[in-house]
Structure 1
Amino acid sequence: MRVEPPSKVFTVEQADALLPDLEQAFQEMDLRSTRLRETTELVQDLEEYWGNRIGDLGCPDRGRYATLVRERDDLQVSLSEDIARVHALGVLLKDFQSGLVDFYGIIDGRLVFLCWRRGEPSVEFYHTLEGGFAGRKPLAPLPRK
């Protein structure tokens, strides 16, 4: 498994301070993702119904199809930009749909991932760089500085 070099190393407090921003970003990504899925299905439905004729001047759904394709493409770009904004914070986005992120941190002098999943009240877990979500360990016994 290849691990990206850290762009930023966080304390638990620094990671916790970003959680409201991440919650907001995930809400926006959820909305865009839902709309993208709906729009993609509508585009596919029109393509299945009309086939190659969807682009014909005489096709009654031609304008609607073009609008939906533009909306789908715009949503894809917006979602990519949302993801890039999260990465720009120095956060590794593992799964935006479940809201799983890692922050580089230091525990006992070792570089680790501080791990947070949407809905958790704060960053309370970490795992090794090679480990994943299943290998999370609680931060509770560690000092939070």
Structure 2
Amino acid sequence: MALPRVFTPAEVDALIPRLTELVAEQLRRQSVVEEGLAELARVAGGLPATIEPTDDDSQDIVRLKVELAGRIKSYDDGWREVQKLGAVVKDPQIGLLDFYGNVDGKLVWLCWRYGEESLRYWHELESGYSGRRPLRADTRERLWN
């Protein structure tokens, strides 16, 4: 397994305009998937066990399942694009992303959430969102990479 890319705060900050665009699109796609699920459930009288078309499905249900599968594929592809930039998707519902960073020689998470204009938080690898710490100026200077 390849070692993860380790980012500096400045490198993450440089990605934020693109990440903002990508995550905004992902949140839109998420809504589109949810709308497709709701429509399928309405027409089918409940959510089917699978979105794979079956012989028992009406033409309307087959059409909705095929459309939904395409929407889900677009959604999955969008997160792969975010991951190609080096982000680890922590919570796709809110656009929470982490990047590996280094402070005082220790691997940490640099934590960014959709809507934040710059990288402002970090946390230990073992802690989650609730363990986020402010990325103060003195922290930025502490041996990043």
Q: Aligning the two structures, in what range does the TM-score lie when normalised by the shorter sequence?
A: 0.7 to 0.9
Summarize deviations over 1:56-81 as a string: whole Å, max 9, x none: xxxxxx44333221110001111111
Following superposition, which runs of at least 4 residues in structure 1 exceed 6 angstroms of deviation?
51-54
Report the structure number with the largest CA radius of gyration: 1
Q: Contact 2:9–2:140 (CA<8 Å) still a contact in 1?
A: no
Residue aligned with 1:26, SS: helix
* Aligned CA-pair RMSD: 2.4
What is the number of equivalent residue pairs in this alignment?
135
Aligned-residue identity in percent? 33
Match of 1:19 in 2: 16
TM-score (norm. length: structure 2): 0.82
Alpha-carbon distance in 2 for matches of 1:112, 1:53: 50
Q: Contact 2:36–2:64 (CA<8 Å) still a contact in 1?
A: yes
Match of 2:89 in 1: 93
Choose which of 41, 47, 59 in structure 1 pairs with 2:38: 41
Choose which of 113, 137, 141 in structure 1 pairs with 2:133: 137
Match of 1:113 in 2: 109
Alpha-carbon distance in 2 for matches of 1:120, 1:6: 27
Alpha-carbon distance in 1 for matches of 2:108, 2:36: 39
Structure 2 portions without partners, runs of 5+: 49-53
Matched, 1:75 2:71: yes
Deviation at 1:6, TM superposition (A): 4.6
